[in-house]
C-alpha cells in the first residue's frame, strides 16, 4: 500500500523547457527556410552550406567553438541577470569595456613577464571593468529606479564612443587609423597547442574560461545562499523584501556579476578570437547573448549548448556566399528564435494540448480494455506494465468505437 501513496497521480505530461526551446529552434529554421525560398534560393542547400561551413573539418570546428566562447559568456551574463529579474541588454557595452581593458593592458604590460601572471592580470582586470560597467546600471536601477534596459543601452553607446576615443589615443595602428595595432600572440589568450591541434583556428583559452564560468555560475545559483537570495528577488521582489532580503543590494550584485561575465566575453573576443579592435563597431554578440540565454532557459548547461548552436549558425553562414543567400539569414533565424522563445506560451500550450489529448486517449483505451475484461479497478492502482498492456489491447477497440461513432453520424 505504501508504494501507492508515493506514486504520483496519473496526469498528462507537461511540455519541458527543452521541448519548448527545440520547438522554437525548429520554427526559427522553418522561418529562415521560407525566407530563403522567397528570394528564390534552395533552403536545403543553404542549411547544408551552414553545417559544412561550421563543422566540416577540425579547423572549422575549432572556429565554431572559438565563436561560441563569447556567446557562452554573454549568454551566462544575460541569464544570470535574468534570474534576478533584470534584463541585461548592455552586454555589448560591457564587452567593449572588457575588451579595451584587455587590449590596452596587452600593449602596456612588458612582453617578457610570465604568461600565467599576465593572463591572470588581464582576466581579472577586464572582468572588473566589465563589472563596473554593469554595476552602473544596477546602481541606477536600485537607487534611482532607472529602467535597466534604457540605462544599459545608453551605456552601450557611451562605451562605444569611449572605446572609439581610447583606441585612437592609446593603441591605434598608425598605418590603418580605424583599427588598433594587432596584439602579439603571446599576449592573447591563444595557446600554441590549441592552435596546432585545430590547425590554426580561433579556439583559445577563453573556451575553458567559459566552461569554468558555466560551472561557477551554476554553483552560485544552485548551491549558495547568495544565489538563492538573487533568485528570490528575481521571482518576486516584494516577497523577497518581506523575507528580509536586501533587494537593492541584490540588484547591484547581479548586474555587476553579469557585467563581469560580459567583460570576460570582451576579453576572449578581442584578445583571443581576434587580436584587434575596430573603431566605431558595436559587437553584435551582445545581442546574440540574449538569444543564447533565452533559448538555454537561463540555465548554465542550457546556455552552453545553445551557445554552441548559435556558434554553428554564425560561423557556418560564412560559407553561404557561394549559394547567393545573404549571410544575414543567420541573424534573422536567431531573431525569429527569440521571438518564439518570448512567445513560448503558444509553444507550451501546443505541446500540452497534444500531451493531454494523447493522455485522454490512453485513459479511454484502458477503460475500454478493462470493460471488455469485465474488471473494474482504479486506473491509478495499475502498474506501469499492466497499463501498457491494457493500452495495447484497448487501442484497436477505441478505433472501432470511433469508426462506429462516425458511421452513426
Binding site for other proteins (CB under 8 A): 35, 39, 87, 89, 140, 144-147, 149-151, 153-158, 160-162, 164-166, 168, 280-281, 287, 290-291, 294, 326, 328-329, 331-332, 334-336, 338-339, 341-346
Residues with Cβ < 8 Å from 260, sequence gap 6 or more? 77, 127, 128, 130, 131, 134
For other proteins, the closer CB: 125 or 334: 334
For other proteins, the closer CB: 26 or 157: 157
For other proteins, the closer CB: 291 or 368: 291
Is the CB of residue 323 less than 8 Å from the CB of residue 46? yes
Please state, in angstroms and rounded to a whole number, the distance separating the CA atoms of residues 167 and 280.
10
Q: How far is the CB of 165 from other proteins (least distance, A)?
A: 3
Residues with Cβ < 8 Å from 351, sequence gap 6 or more? 15, 19, 20, 23
Q: How far is CA 258 from the centre of its chain?
A: 14
Q: How far is the CB of 138 from other proteins (least distance, A)?
A: 13
Q: How far is the CB of 157 from other proteins (least distance, A)?
A: 4
CA distances from 246 to 90, 238, 395 (A): 24, 11, 57
Angle between helices 17-38 and 285-295 (to 10 degrees): 130
Please state, in angstroms and rounded to a whole number, the distance separating the CA atoms of residues 201 and 275.
13
Q: How far is the CB of 344 from other proteins (least distance, A)?
A: 7
For other proteins, the closer CB: 154 or 382: 154
Q: How far is the CB of 271 from other proteins (least distance, A)?
A: 21
For other proteins, the closer CB: 294 or 366: 294
Q: How far is the CB of 331 from other proteins (least distance, A)?
A: 3
Answer left, alpha or beta for residue 127, where phi above 0 means left and psi between -120 and 50 means alpha: alpha
Q: How far is the CB of 146 from other proteins (least distance, A)?
A: 5
Residues with Cβ < 8 Å from 258, sequence gap 6 or more? 77, 78, 80, 81, 86, 88, 91, 94, 134
Please, is 34 exposed, middle or buried when counting C-beta atoms within 10 Å of its C-beta (0-12, 13-18, 19+)? exposed
Grid cell for residue 11: 496526469
Amino acid at each position: 500500500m505504501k508504494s501507492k501513496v508515493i506514486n504520483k497521480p496519473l496526469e498528462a505530461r507537461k511540455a519541458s523547457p527543452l521541448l519548448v526551446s527545440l520547438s522554437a529552434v525548429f520554427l526559427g529554421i522553418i522561418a529562415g527556410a521560407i525566407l530563403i525560398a522567397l528570394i528564390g534560393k534552395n533552403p536545403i542547400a543553404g542549411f547544408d552550406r551552414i553545417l559544412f561551413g561550421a563543422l566540416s573539418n577540425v579547423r572549422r570546428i575549432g572556429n565554431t567553438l572559438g565563436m561560441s566562447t563569447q556567446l557562452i559568456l554573454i549568454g551566462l551574463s544575460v541569464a544570470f541577470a535574468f534570474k534576478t529579474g533584470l534584463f541585461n541588454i548592455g552586454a555589448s557595452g560591457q564587452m567593449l569595456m572588457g575588451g579595451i581593458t584587455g587590449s590596452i593592458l596587452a600593449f602596456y604590460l612588458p612582453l617578457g613577464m610570465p604568461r600565467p601572471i599576465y593572463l591572470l592580470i588581464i582576466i581579472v582586470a577586464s572582468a572588473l571593468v566589465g563589472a563596473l560597467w554593469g554595476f552602473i546600471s544596477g546602481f541606477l536601477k536600485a537607487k534611482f529606479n532607472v529602467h535597466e534596459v534604457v540605462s544599459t543601452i545608453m551605456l552601450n553607446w557611451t562605451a562605444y564612443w569611449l572605446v572609439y576615443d581610447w583606441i585612437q589615443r592609446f593603441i591605434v595602428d598608425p598605418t590603418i587609423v580605424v583599427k588598433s595595432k594587432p596584439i602579439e600572440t603571446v599576449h592573447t589568450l591563444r595557446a600554441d597547442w590549441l592552435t596546432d591541434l585545430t590547425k590554426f583556428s580561433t579556439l583559445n583559452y577563453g573556451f575553458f574560461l567559459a566552461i569554468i564560468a558555466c560551472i561557477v555560475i551554476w554553483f552560485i545559483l544552485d548551491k549558495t545562499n547568495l544565489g538563492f537570495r538573487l533568485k528570490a528577488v528575481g521571482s518576486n521582489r516584494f516577497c523577497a523584501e518581506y523575507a528580509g532580503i536586501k533587494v537593492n543590494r541584490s540588484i547591484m550584485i547581479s548586474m555587476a556579476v553579469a557585467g563581469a561575465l560580459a567583460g570576460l566575453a570582451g576579453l576572449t573576443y578581442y584578445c583571443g578570437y581576434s587580436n584587434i579592435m575596430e573603431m566605431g563597431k558595436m559587437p553584435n554578440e551582445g545581442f546574440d547573448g540574449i538569444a543564447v540565454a533565452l533559448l538555454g532557459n537561463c540555465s548554465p548547461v542550457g546556455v552552453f549548448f545553445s551557445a554552441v548552436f548559435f556558434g554553428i549558425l554564425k560561423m557556418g553562414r560564412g560559407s553561404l556566399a557561394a549559394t547567393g543567400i545573404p549571410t544575414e539569414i543567420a541573424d534573422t533565424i536567431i531573431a525569429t528564435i527569440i521571438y518564439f522563445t518570448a512567445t513560448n506560451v503558444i509553444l507550451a500550450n501546443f505541446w500540452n494540448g497534444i500531451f493531454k489529448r494523447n493522455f485522454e486517449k490512453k485513459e479511454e483505451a484502458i477503460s475500454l480494455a478493462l470493460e471488455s475484461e469485465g474488471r473494474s479497478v482504479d486506473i491509478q492502482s495499475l502498474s506501469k506494465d499492466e497499463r501498457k498492456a491494457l493500452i495495447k489491447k484497448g487501442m484497436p477497440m477505441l478505433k472501432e468505437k470511433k469508426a462506429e461513432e462516425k458511421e452513426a453520424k
